[in-house]
A and B are shown apart, each in its own frame.
Chain A
């Protein structure tokens, strides 16, 4: 069965700093890849997804992620974070059923 690893447990940044959150998965077959976000007190929402085609995908709120098949990675990036990006970010892999990483808590200081 597939598994998902998120290496950063808690990231603290100042506003306008650049962000990169790591995600690696273990599954040899075809997968769909996702990033979900959970703002404080809210439920999980889709940030972006990769199914096929261009490995650089763009999502909402200026986020993007790059699928590197050879590295089994799907890292999330944003060039300039805002205070409102403070949330928990989850990487997920779907190869039949959806599995999530442990999450990365992002705190953006104003």
Chain B
């Protein structure tokens, strides 16, 4: 296993277009997280899944953002009608474990997908 993979690494799009990012987590990890990171800021939590269940989505930035993990393996993050303010690095991470007190709740991050909206 080569870690968390994200595709594409860089996407340039025009304002108003839809974009989709894909994340392939470490195969044995049941949790998958999406974050957004802008320059000079920490990762901003968006949503996360445990297997195929989306456990938290209230932090998604607007109703233009949606995420899926249909079979509990890879996940997609879609942004509809992109705006220039959506330009950022979108990070995916995965972990194993369930409860809060879990020695396995360590996130492994992918390299990210950079979005540029013109």
Q: Enumerate chain A interface residues (CB-CB to B < 8 A).
A: 4, 6, 29-32, 34, 36, 43-46, 49, 51-52, 90, 94-103, 105
Shortest distance between the CB of B32 and any CB in chain A (Å): 11
Whether B42 lies near A101 (C-beta < 8 A) is yes
B interface, size bucket:
20 to 34
B25 interface residue, CB < 8 Å from A?
no
Q: How far is the CA of A31 from the CA of B102 in the complex (A)?
A: 10
User: Do B45 and A95 touch (CB < 8 A)?
Assistant: no
Number of CB contacts from chain A to chain B under 8 A: 63
> How long is the Cα–Cα vector from A103 to B38 in the complex, in angstroms?
11
Given the complex, which residues of B lie within 8 Å of A43, measured CB to CB?
91, 109-112
Q: B106 interface residue, CB < 8 Å from A?
A: yes
Tell me whether B45 and A100 are in contact (CB under 8 A): yes
Of A4, A44, A46, chain B has the most CB atoms within 10 Å of the CB of A44
Given contacts A31-B100, A94-B100, contact A99 B45 (CB under 8 A): yes
A–B complex contacts, Cβ < 8 Å, 30 sampled: A4-B42, A32-B102, A32-B105, A34-B107, A36-B109, A44-B43, A44-B93, A44-B107, A44-B109, A46-B106, A46-B107, A51-B105, A52-B101, A90-B42, A94-B105, A95-B100, A96-B56, A96-B100, A97-B45, A97-B56, A98-B33, A98-B45, A98-B107, A99-B45, A100-B35, A101-B42, A102-B41, A102-B42, A103-B40, A103-B41
